[in-house]
Amino acid sequence: MSTLTCDVAVVGGGLVGTALAYELVGLGADVVLVDRHHQGRATDAGAGILSPETTWNPDSGWFSFGMEAAAHYRTLIARLADDGFADTGYAQCGLLLAATEPGEDDWFATVAALALGRSPDTLSEVTPEEARALFPPLGRLRRVLHNPAAARVDGRIMNDALLGGAIGRGLRRREATVTGLQLSGARVVGIDSDAGAVSCAAVAVAGGAWSPMFGAQLGISIPVEPAKGQIIHMQLPAPDGPGATDGAADSGQWPIVSPVLHHYLVAWPGGRVACGGTYEPDALFDSRPTVAGMEELLSACLAIAPGLGPATVVDVRVGLRPVTSDGLPVLGPVPGWDNVHLVTGHGTEGLLLGPHSAALVAPCLLGSPVPEELRQFSMTRFPT
């Protein structure tokens, strides 16, 4: 097995690692991406909701970062189009934040007040009838906030586009498992994998829920754990077939539906609708779909949108979200090491935040100072 030599070795080829590789080659770096594509890769299962405007998170630092991440997508789409990758799975479709039951009224009022205070020129409350005109299968609604700026992204298609764009600029990729780091003093000088070694000047660990495996060698605890999520994809009947749903031919235009206390619905072109997601940290690395997960999702789906009853279940996806105890990602250098950076822990928001994180971390791997806005995500906030 041959040894490769490069400027930066990236461990992990989910959306975060692939976006990082894309940014690095864009900066002129020679990059090797090593990815095992483990079963349970979160990027393959993610619902793809990009709506920082309606987050319940009161933290202003998180909100600013989320809004920058949403803006970053718009420039990224344009860059990928210039690279010849117009199909990215990204679309601005809007989002309906809804209270569907009396018990949700207080929570809705809190989230709506926060969101309207932050984005008064973008968001507006709509009537239940207006909401059903936008998403016809919806059932009973109490109050609805409309965010026309929200977008959806298909993580698989976006990942493929980024990978294609990066390979077009010289990225080399290995399908392999990284088994360890090569250490020399306070530096990592390479990585070992089951397809050979890679010598490098810097390493990025973007291994999602699997990232902590490198902690022991680095003498730290990488504060990331898996949180299993299941999501069901449904197919509505053809517009002229039995059980056809009003307006299903236009499902690509339907907004995301996000009940404040329940599961969400994400519609895609061609009558496909995804309902997610379960949140099962106790399942650890078990990425099998379960009957209990299906029951939870299907009953939530029908409670929110009874009009989806005639749909057939066409896919069940399971992903392991890389979560941290405070819900924020872990970005930047590993303390005590000159040239190892973590880019992980994006949890429930990695499709939104991941590409923006990657764009900020990439210059640091090539020697630039860590920008101020990344400091809130340093792993030094956790005990080692």
Ligand X SMILES: Cc1cc2nc3c(=O)[nH]c(=O)nc-3n(C[C@H](O)[C@H](O)[C@H](O)COP(=O)(O)OP(=O)(O)OC[C@H]3O[C@@H](n4cnc5c(N)ncnc54)[C@H](O)[C@@H]3O)c2cc1C
Among 52, 271, 350, 355, binds ligand X (CB under 6 A): 350
Does 288 bind ligand X (CB under 6 A)? Our answer is: no
Q: Is 100 helix (H, G, I), strand (E, B) or coil?
A: coil
* Cβ–Cβ < 8 Å for 148, 161: no
d(CA 287, CA 275): 17
Smallest distance from ligand X to CB 337, Å: 17
State the DSSP string of 319-335.
EEEEE-TTS--EEEEPT
Question: CB under 6 A: which stretch of 104-112, 113-121, 339-347, 365-373 binds ligand X?
Answer: 339-347
> Residue 4 is which amino acid?
L
- Asked if 178 and 11 count as a contact pair (C-beta separation under 8 A), the reply is yes
**Which of 319, 332, 333, 355 forms a contact with ligand X (CB under 6 A)?**
319
Q: Which of 244, 274, 261 is nearest to 89 (CA)?
A: 274
| Smallest separation (angstroms) from ligand X to the CB of 63 | 14
Kindly tell me which of 209 and 248 has the beta carbon lying closer to ligand X.
Answer: 209
Residues 23-62, one symbol each (x = binds ligand X by CB under 6 A, - = not), give -----------xxxxx--xxx-xxxxx-------------
**Residue whose CB is less far from ligand X, 53 or 349:** 349
Site for ligand X in 231-260 (CB under 6 A): 231
Can you read off the two tokens belonging to residue 380? 């030094």
Cα torsion through 128, 133, 135, 138, rounded to 10: 40
Report the residue from 165, 333, 354, 355 that binds ligand X according to the rule CB under 6 A.
Answer: 354
> Which residue from 341, 379, 347, 345 is spatially nearest to 360, judged by alpha carbons?
341
CB 230 → ligand X: shortest distance, Å? 6
Tokens 């010849």 belong to which residue?
Answer: 84
Residue 307 contacts ligand X per CB under 6 A? no
C-alpha distances in Å from residue 18, one per residue of 14, 39, 110, 207, 218 = 6, 17, 37, 11, 23
Asked if 178 and 13 count as a contact pair (C-beta separation under 8 A), the reply is: no
By CB under 6 A, name the one of 52, 94, 165, 207 that touches ligand X. Answer: 207
Cβ proximity to ligand X: between 12 and 137 the closer is: 12
Q: Binding residues for ligand X, how many (CB under 6 A)?
A: 45
By CB under 6 A, the residues from 68 to 107 that bind ligand X are: none
Between 104 and 349, name the residue whose CB sits nearer to ligand X. Answer: 349
Minimum CB separation of residue 154 from ligand X in Å reads 11
Residue 276 touches ligand X, criterion: CB under 6 A: yes
Q: Select the span of 10-18, 85-93, 289-297, 357-365 touching ligand X (CB under 6 A).
A: 10-18
Q: Which has the closest alpha carbon to 108: 93, 97, 118?
A: 97
- Of 222 and 364, the one with the shorter C-beta distance to ligand X is 222
Which positions from 129 to 168 touch ligand X by CB under 6 A, shown as an x/- string?
--------------------------x-------------
Task: Tell me which H or E stretch contains 296.
Answer: helix 291-304
The token duo for 225 is: 């754990």
Closer residue to ligand X, CB minimum distance, 37 or 288: 37
Give the residue among 150, 8, 133, 187 at the shortest CA–CA distance from 67. 150
Q: Which of 66, 94, 208, 333 binds ligand X (CB under 6 A)?
A: 208
Q: Of 16, 341, 44, 19, which is closest to residue 171 (Cα–Cα)?
A: 19
Choice between 277 and 332, CB closer to ligand X: 277
Task: For tokens 């100072």, name the residue.
Answer: 369
Give the interface with ligand X as residue ranges (CB under 6 A).
11-17, 34-38, 41-43, 45-49, 155, 177-178, 206-210, 213, 229, 231, 276-277, 319, 321-322, 344, 346-352, 354
